[in-house]
Amino acid sequence: MSIQPAYCYRDPVRLLRMMKVLIALASLLALSAGQLNTLTKTQELDPAGNFRLNWEVIPGTGDIVLEIVANATGWVTLAIVTDDGKYADIIFGGYNDEFEFGYVEDWSLEWVPGAVPGEGAHLLPIPDGSKDIALQTASFTDPTTTLRVKRSLDTGDYYDVPIHSGQMPIGWSYSTSDAYDSVHAAAGFAYVTFY
Least confident of 27-36, 62-71, 127-136, 157-166: 27-36
Confidence band (pLDDT; 50, 70, 90) for 57? very high
Q: What is the pTM of this model?
A: 0.79
- pLDDT tens, position by position, 12-22: 666 556 655 55
- pLDDT tens, position by position, 149-177: 999 999 999 999 999 999 999 999 999 99
Identify the pLDDT of residue 111: 76
Q: Please tell me the distance from the alpha carbon of residue 45 to that of residue 68, in angstroms, as a whole number.
A: 10
- pLDDT tens, position by position, 101-137: 999 999 999 877 676 665 777 778 899 989 999 999 9
Identify the pLDDT of residue 122: 74
The 3-class SS string of 64-103 reads EEEEEEECCCCCEEEEEECCCCCEEEEEEEEEECCCCEEE
